[in-house]
Amino acid sequence: MSQARELYEQLPYPQVVVVGGGFAGLEMVKGLNGKPFKVLLLDKQNHHCFQPLLYQVATASLSADSIAHPFRTTIAPMSNVAFRMCSALSVDPVARVVHTDRGEVAFDILIIATGSSTNFFGNTRMEQEAMQLKTISQALDIRSDFLQDFEAALYAQDEADQRQCLNFVVVGGGPTGVEMAGALAEIRRTVLKREYRELDSDRMQIWLVDSNDRVLKSFSERNSIRARDYLESMGVHVKLGARVTDYDGEVVSFSTGERMASHTVLWAAGVKGVLLPGLAAAEVPKANRYSVDRYNALIGFKDIYALGDVALMLEEGREHGHPQVAPAAIQQARWLVRNLLRSNSGSTMEPFEYRDKGSMATIGRYKAVVDMGRVHIGGLLAWLAWMFVHLMALVGFRNRLQVLMGWAWKYLSWRNTVRLIIRPYVRKATVTEQESSVTTP
C-alpha cells in the first residue's frame, strides 16, 4: 500500500462518499478539502464534463478535451480526498454501503449527485433512434454524424435524397435546443457554403420543434421573442405547438399529422434525475428525483443527501423544485458543505435558500439573451456576458485557455475548427441491417 493511501485510510474522520462528479459533486469535494472528513468520490468517468459547452463540441467549435478535466488532477493535492472510477449500482441504507461494479463502499455520510439523463417521456423508439447530448461521447457522435451527412449528400442520387441528408430536426426549445439550432445555422452559412461548394447550401434545413407556444419558455417573454427572432433571421424554422411523436431513423412524425424525411433528429426536450436503487421511499416517480428537505437530506433517511438535478426540494414559490441547472447544483453543494461543518462542530444546520442568478443562452455570433431579475438584455452585450460567465466557470486554467483560443480562432476565421471524423458514427438501423445480413454456416 502506498504511503498516501495508507495515510488516507488511517484518517480518523467520518467517511463521506460522493456519488457523481458533476457540478454538485465536484463542488462538494472542493468544499470538504482539508476539512475533518474522509472523502471518497465515485464516478463512472475519470473526468468532469462541462456540459453547458457540449453543444460546441458537437458542432465542431471546440475539442473534447477543452471541456473535460481529469478528477485526479483536481484531487491530487487533497490529502483527505480519494477518487474511484466505478459505476454505482445501488445503495443499502441499512448496511450503509454503496454497491458498485467494483465492490462495496462503506459510508457514514452519503451524498448523491448523480445528475440527470435525457428524458424521452416514455417514447422508446425515439430513445433508440434520436441522438442526445449529455456526454462527450454523444457530442462526438453528433459531430461525426452531421459531417458524414454532408459527405453523403454529395453522393445523393436526386434532390430529395440530398435534402434528407441535410435536414436536421432539433426537438426541444430550451437553451440546449436553441443553442444547437443556432450553431447548425452558422455551420450552414460558413462550413457548408465554403467547403462543400458542389452542394446548394440552401438545401440544408434546420428545424427547431417544441410543444410550447414559445422557445426558452423559462425565460422572460421579451427574451423568448428575441431568441426566436434571432433563430429565424439565421434561417432556422421554428415549429411551435407541435410534438415529435415518432421517428424511425428516416421519417419524423409530428402530433399535427405532418411527416418529414430526415437522417438526423437531435433530442433536447427534457431531462430526468438518475436514481439509485435502494432508496425508493424517497423517490418521486413523476419527477424522477429524490424528495429532500430544506437541508438536502432524503426524506426518511439518515445521513443521506441529494444534490442538483436529482434533488427535489419543495418550498413556497417552487412547487416543482429548483431548476435542474448548474448554478442550483453548485449552490446546494456549497450550502451542504457549510451545514456538515456546522453539524460536525455541534451547531444547528440552516435551511437552504436558493438565489436565482438569472438565465442565459447564446444563439450565434453576437446573438444571445440574458435574464437577471428585471433586467433582460440581448445582442452583443448578452453574448459577451455569456462567454465570460462560461469561460470563468470552466474547471482548470488549461481548459479556460483552450476554450478562449478556440473561440478567438473561430470568430476571427469564421470557421468551425474541429471538423474531423475520427470515430465514424454508425446508425443503429445500419448496425441492425448488418447483423441481420450475417448468416451462420
What per-residue confidence (pLDDT) applies to 441? 36
Number of Cβ atoms within 10 Å of the Cβ of 424? 10
Burial 279-289 (b: 16+ CB within 10 A, else e): beebbbeeebb
**pLDDT at 230 (0 to 100):** 97
Task: Tell the CATH topology of 3-44+86-118+272-344.
Answer: FAD/NAD(P)-binding domain (3.50.50)
Nine-digit cell string for 173:
426549445
Average the pLDDT over 213-218 and give the result: 94
The per-residue pLDDT for 429 is 54
> How much is the pLDDT for 434?
45
Q: Which residues contact 378 (CB under 8 A, 6 or more apart)?
A: 223, 226, 227, 230, 367, 368, 369, 370
Cell numbers representing residue 421 in the block: 471524423
Could you read off the pLDDT of 131-186 as tens digits, one per residue? 999 999 999 999 999 999 999 999 998 899 999 999 999 999 999 999 999 999 99
> Does 130 have pLDDT greater than 90?
yes
The predicted structure's pLDDT at residue 338? 97
Question: Where residue 317 falls among pLDDT bands split at 50, 70, 90?
Answer: confident
Where do the domains of the chain lie?
3-44+86-118+272-344, 124-269
Tell me: pLDDT of 273 over 50: yes
CATH architecture of residue range(s) 124-269:
3-Layer(bba) Sandwich (3.50)
Q: Angle formed by the axes of helices 23-32 and 326-344, to 10°?
A: 30
- pLDDT at 49 > cutoff 90: yes
Residue 8: is its pLDDT beyond 50? yes
pLDDT at 12: 81
| CA trace torsion 281, 320, 329, 31 (10° rounding) | -60
Q: Helices (DSSP H) in 88-174: which residue ranges? A: 124-129, 136-153, 159-165
pLDDT over 50 (residue 440): no
In a 13 Å sphere around the CA of 185, the CA atoms on its Cβ side amount to: 24
Comparing 3-44+86-118+272-344 with 124-269, is the CATH topology the same? yes
